[in-house]
Structure 1
C-alpha cells in the first residue's frame, strides 16, 4: 500500500472527515466601560487555529494606551446631558385673506439641546387667537442652506436664523443660556422687544376706546352699565367666577333631607349657575345641573340705595346679594350658602372691604356620634367554613379570603402549646359513659391563629379507638366567646361541644411560655405576695404544722397537689397552675417543692 498515503478520500457519504473547528468563529468581548464611559475598546481577532503563520503584531493593552497624565475627554452626549439653551424670538407671517392686516407677528420659543445638537420650536398659546398653536417644529437637527447643521454658535441674540424658509428673529434668551455662551467666550447682545403687528395694535386701540366710553351716573338716567362699561367689565372679569357652597332641605320619604349644591357667579355677565352635588349610593339620578347659567331673578332688593345700578337690573341677583349665611331662592328651593372658596373670600375682602369674620364657614352638618355596630352572623345550616368565613361571605357577592394578622403570623408561626386533659363531669355536662373518666387527651393550641386541636392517644385494651377527637378549629366557650391562650392553664376547665375537659398537665415549653408572657397564674411574685397577705399570724403556723404532718418520710419536700390541698384546708386558694409555678421557681420541678424554701418565700 505504499504510495497511497497522500491520496484524498473520495467525496462520498460517510467518507468525509468533519472538523468542527473549521466552523467555529467566536467573537471576543470588546464592549467595556473605561473611565465611566461605555464603548468598543477592542478589535476583532481570529481564533488561534485560524490566525496566519506570520508573527502577529502585538497590541498595546488599554493601560498603556491611556497615559496617566493624558486628559480623558468625555463625549458630548454625556457632558451636556439634560442641558438645554432657550431663546425667545418671533417670525412674520404673511396674511392674504384679510384686508385689515397684511402680516402678523407670531412669537415663539426655540430650544437647543446640547447633547445632540437638536432644535425644538414651540409657540405659546394665545387666547382667542384662532390659530392652532403649540409645537411648531419637532425636535430634530436643522440643516443650514450652506450645508451642515445649526449649532449654538449660530444662535445669537439679534440675529436672524433661516429655518425651512422662515426667518426667526432671536430677541432674548434665559440666564442659563447667557452663562453657557459666556463660558464659551461668546458675547450676546442685550434683550430686544418684539415688534407689534397692525392687527394687535388695532385691537388694543379698540379696547382703549371702549374703556374711555365709561360715563358717570347722573340723576336723569342711571346708565351705569353703558356699552363701554359692559365691555370693560367683560374684559376685566373674564373667567373670574365666585364659588359658594350651599345646602337646601328637601322633603323626603323618611323626613327632611339636606341636599348640597355649588353656586357659581360669573362676574363677567352677572349670571348664576347651580350645580348639584351627587353623593355615592344615594339612589338618585346624577343630574349635573340644578340651574343652567342664566340671570337669576330675586324678590326684595338687598342692595344699598347708594349703589348705582340700572333699575332694570334690580330684579336680578348681584354679587353683593351673595354672602355666607344668605339665602337665595332658586325656583322654589331656598339655598343657604354656608361656605366659599379662597378666591371668593379674597374678592369680597379686597373689592368690598368685607371683614374676614363674615366669611367664615357655617357648620350646617352637625357631627353625629359614630356607633360601630358589630355585624350579626347569620350562619345557615348550609354554610361552609368557620363563622368568620360565613360572615365574610355575607359582605359581598364575590367571595374574598380572610385577611390574616401578619404580625401574629410572623411572631408565632410554628409555636404550639400542648396540654394533657381528661374528661370530667359537671352538672351541665355529665359524662356519657363511666369509661370516659379514664380517657386522656392531648390539647394543642396553635398560637399562629388561635385554633385548638384535640387528639386522643390510643390505649391498649381500652376498647376505644384513639385518634383525632376534634379537628383543628377555633372553639367558643359557653358565653359564645372564643377561647384564648390565657384560658388554658393547668387545672382549668374548658367546654368543647358539650364535653368538659380539665387540664392536668402541660409540657415544659408551654410552662416556660406562660411564665415569659406574664400569665396571671404564672407570676411567682404576685402569688407569694398574695399568700403572704393571707398567711399572717396563726394561719402560717397552721400551714407549717400541716406541711410537717404531710412529710411523713422526712424528705423535706411537698408535692404540688398536696400544696394545693393544704392551702385549701386553712381557707386559702391556690390553683394547680400556681402550685406548679412555685415548684418550678424554687425547686426547678413540676412535681414537688422544697418545704423550707417555700416557707421562706411566703414569710419574708
Structure 2
C-alpha cells in the first residue's frame, strides 16, 4: 500500500510505473444483463480490475473544463453570439433580376442605301444562378427575325473558362458574347440600387443611338412615277375578295351527244378576271369542265383580228377591250371563248353590287327548263317484302351490297329492358277446331317486339307452346318503305290484332298493363284505357288479384 502512495503523482515514464502485485482481478465488469428474457444494457459502476471509474475521480472543476463550461460565480456570465442562419442563394436571390439596355450594330453588305443597322436588345442577369438572357424587342412589320437571341445560360467571359458575373457589368461598357459586341447604355432603378449597395459606382447612362433604317422608313423619300390610266392599287385595296357569282347554262347542243350543262361563272373585281366551273354531278361519268382564271378578251385590235398566231396566250397589245361587269346581264346569252352561256341567276352580293354601281341594269332572274331526272336521280323502288326475316333486315339488303344490321334505340332498350305487357287472346278462325285455343300475347316495350305463346289444352289434339317468336308485327296495309307496327295504343280489350294472316282477339290483360299505360296516358287513346279499366275493374271487385312473376311482370288471368 505504501508503494501505491509513493508512486502517486509520478510521471508515466518507463521506470516510474509500478505494478500492484496484490491485484488479482483484471476483468471488465459485466454491462449487459437479461430481464424477462430481454437483453438490457446498464451503466458500469467500476472499471477494469475493479478500479474506480475516471468519471468518479474527476473533481467539479475538471468536469467543467472538459465540458467547456465556466462557472458563472467565478468568471461571470459568458455571452455568446448565435451563429447566423445560412440562407442559400436560390432562396435569398430568388426573382431578383438585373436588367440592362444595350444595342449592337449589324453590318449591311448587300444594300447601297445603308451600311449598318442599330438593333436594341435587353440583357437580363439572374442573381440566383449568375445566368444571363438576351432578347430583342419585337417591332411590327420590321422584316427582321427578332425575339430571343441567347437563351438563359451562363455566358463565357474568356478562354480560361470564366463566366460573366454581375461585378463585370456596368453602363458604357462593351459585352462581347459569341462574337457579337453589345454596348450597354442604360439600366433600370432596381439594378442601379443593387449595384450601389454592393459598392460599385454606376456610370452615367448613355442615349440609345438612332437607327438610320428606321428613320428612313418613318420619312420615306418621295418617288415619282408616271401616272397610269387605271389605279391598280386602289382597285386592289377596295375590290380584294369581292367576286360576282353568276349561274348559267352552257349550251353544248351543237356538238355530238351535246346537251345543256349548268355552270357557275365567277368575275373577280380585283383584277377583272373570269373563271368558269361546271356544276359537277356525282356519278355523271364526266370530268368537270373548268376554265382557269384569266382576263377574257372581248374585242381585238383590227390588225390582229385575222392575223394567224402560233401562241395560245393573247397579249395585252392585241386586245382592244376586255369583258367588264356591264357585259354580264341576266336573261341574255354571252359568248365566252366560242361557247354560249345563258345567264339566269346570281347571288345576293352580285345583285347588291349592280344596284349600287350599275342601277340602269336590272338583274332579274329568269326561269330555266328543269332537267329530266336521270337514272341516278330517280327514286329507288324497294321490292315487296318476301316474308323472310324482319322488314328492317330485308330492307338493308336493298340499300347496300353488304347489308348492315339496322340501328337500334339503345337508350330505350336499357330503360325498358324488363317491361313486358301481357294479354290473353283467342284465335278468330272459321275452322271449328280452333274454337278453344287460348294464347298469351306478350309485347316487349324495349324493342316493340311481339311474341305469342299457346296454352296447352288437354285432349285437344293440338300441341301448345311457342306460336310466334319475338318479332315486330306490321299493321295490315302498311308499305315496305314506311311500315307501321303495332304499339300498346292498339291493344284494347276486344280489339283484333292481325299477325301474319292470323287474327287474334284480345280478351284480357294483367294489372301491370293498366299501370304502365296510365303512366304514358298522353300517348294512349282513351278508348284503350277505358276498356282495360272496365275489364280489370270487374276482376278487382271479385277480389281476384293478378299473379306477379319474378321480373315484375304480371301473369294474366285465364
1:332-347 equivalence runs, <5 A: 332-334=339-341, 338-339=346-347
Q: 1:148 to 1:89 in 2, by over 3 A?
A: closer
Q: What's the offset of the Cα at 1:296?
A: 2.8
Tell me which residue corresponds to 1:245.
245
Matches of residues 56-455 of structure 1 in structure 2 within 5 Å? 92-96=105-109, 102-103=115-116, 133=145, 137=149, 141=153, 143=155, 145=157, 164-167=178-181, 195-197=211-213, 204-205=220-221, 208-211=222-225, 213-214=226-227, 224=229, 237=237, 240-251=240-251, 256-266=260-270, 270-274=271-275, 276=277, 279=280, 281=282, 283=284, 284-286=286-288, 290-293=291-294, 295-298=295-298, 315-317=321-323, 321=326, 330-331=336-337, 332-334=339-341, 338-339=346-347, 354=356, 376-378=381-383, 385-425=389-429, 430-431=430-431, 434-455=432-453
| Per-residue deviation, 1:139 | 5.4
Which whole-Å CA distance do the structure 1 matches of 2:117 and 2:423 have between them? 95
Label 1:337 to 1:513 Cα distance change in 2 as closer, same or farther (>3 A).
Answer: closer
Query: Which SS does the other structure have where 1:247 is aligned?
Result: strand
> Paired residue for 2:534, among 579, 582, 603?
579
Gap regions ≥5 residues in structure 1: 1-52, 54-72, 215-222, 301-309, 528-575, 592-604
Per the TM alignment, residue 423 of structure 1 is displaced from its structure 2 partner at its CA by 1.0
Looking at structure 1, the residues matched to 505 and 395 of structure 2 have their Cα atoms a distance apart, in angstroms, of: 32
Deviation sequence 1:141-193 (CA, Å, 0-9, x none):
46253765899xx999x9987553335689999xxxx999999999xx99979
Residue deviations 1:306-358 (CA, integer Å, cap 9, x gap): xxxx999861346x75899798753235467834779x98xx89xxx947999
CA offset at residue 138 of structure 1?
Answer: 8.0
Residues 87/204 of structure 1: CA separation in 2 closer, same or farther (3 Å cut): farther
CA RMSD of aligned residues (A): 6.4
Residues 194-234 of structure 1 deviation map (CA, whole Å, 9 limit, x = unaligned): 613399779954xx3234x44xxxxxxxx736xxx77x769
Counterpart-to-counterpart distance in 1, 2:536 and 2:206: 93
Structure 1 match to 2:21: none
Aligned residue among 499, 502, 506 for 2:502: 499
Change in CA separation of 1:340 and 1:439 when aligned onto 2, cut-off 3 Å? closer
Q: Do structure 1's residue 471 and structure 2's residue 485 form an aligned pair? A: no
Aligned-pair CA distance for 1:111: 11
d(CA) in 1 for partners of 2:383, 2:362 = 48
Q: Which residue of 1 aligns with 2:525?
A: 520
How many Å separate the matches in 2 of 1:277 and 1:423?
Answer: 64
- Which structure's CA Rg is the greater one? 2
Kindly state the Cα deviation for residue 471 of structure 1 after the two structures are TM-superposed.
1.0
Q: Distance in 1 between matches of 2:165 and 2:264?
A: 60
- Deviations, residues 525-581 of structure 1 (Å, cap 9, x unaligned): xx6xxxxxxxxxxxxxxxxxxxxxxxxxxxxxxxxxxxxxxxxxxxxxxxx646326
Displacement of 1:584: 6.9
Residue 121 of structure 1 deviates from its aligned partner by 5.8
Q: Distance in 1 between matches of 2:463 and 2:288?
A: 68
Number of aligned residue pairs:
409
Contact 1:108 1:123 in 2 (8 A): yes
Quote the Cα distance in structure 2 between the aligned partners of 1:115 and 1:362.
77
Are 1:324 and 1:340, in contact at CA under 8 Å, matched by a contact in 2? no
Change (3 A) 1:446 1:311: same
How far 1:452 moved relative to its partner? Answer: 0.3
Q: 2:458 aligns with which of 438, 456, 460?
A: 460
Determine whether 1:485 maps to 2:477.
no
Contact conserved, 1:515 with 1:523, CA < 8 A, in 2? no
Shift of 1:101: 5.1
Q: Name the TM-score, length of structure 1 as normaliser.
A: 0.49
Change (3 A) 1:292 1:523: closer
- Deviation string 1:375-431 (CA, Å, 9 cap, x unpaired) is 7533675x9742112323433345433222344334422100001111122xxxx33
Higher mean displacement: 514-523 or 451-460: 514-523
Alignment check: 8 A CA contact 2:266 2:276 kept: yes
Deviates more, 1:510-519 or 1:440-449: 510-519
The 1:374–1:259 alpha-carbon spacing in structure 2 relative to 1, beyond 3 Å, is closer
User: Which structure has more helix as a fraction of its residues?
Assistant: 1
State the secondary structure of the residue aligned to 2:248.
Answer: strand
Distance 1:324 1:585, change over 3 A: farther
> What SS does the aligned partner of 1:250 have?
strand
Matched-pair contact (CA < 8 Å) for 2:425–2:504: yes
Counterpart-to-counterpart distance in 2, 1:299 and 1:413:
78
Q: Is the 1:580–1:590 Cα contact (8 Å) retained in structure 2?
A: no
Per the alignment, do residues 262 and 202 of structure 1 end up closer, same or farther by CA in structure 2, a change over 3 Å counting? same
Work out the CA distance in 2 between the residues paired with 1:182 and 1:275: 70
- The answer for unaligned runs of 5 or more in structure 2 is 1-40, 42-87, 197-204, 301-315, 371-377, 479-483, 547-558
Report which structure shows greater RCO (CA 8 Å, sep ≥6): 2
Please give the alpha-carbon distance, in whole angstroms, between the structure 2 residues aligned to 1:103 and 1:386.
Answer: 85
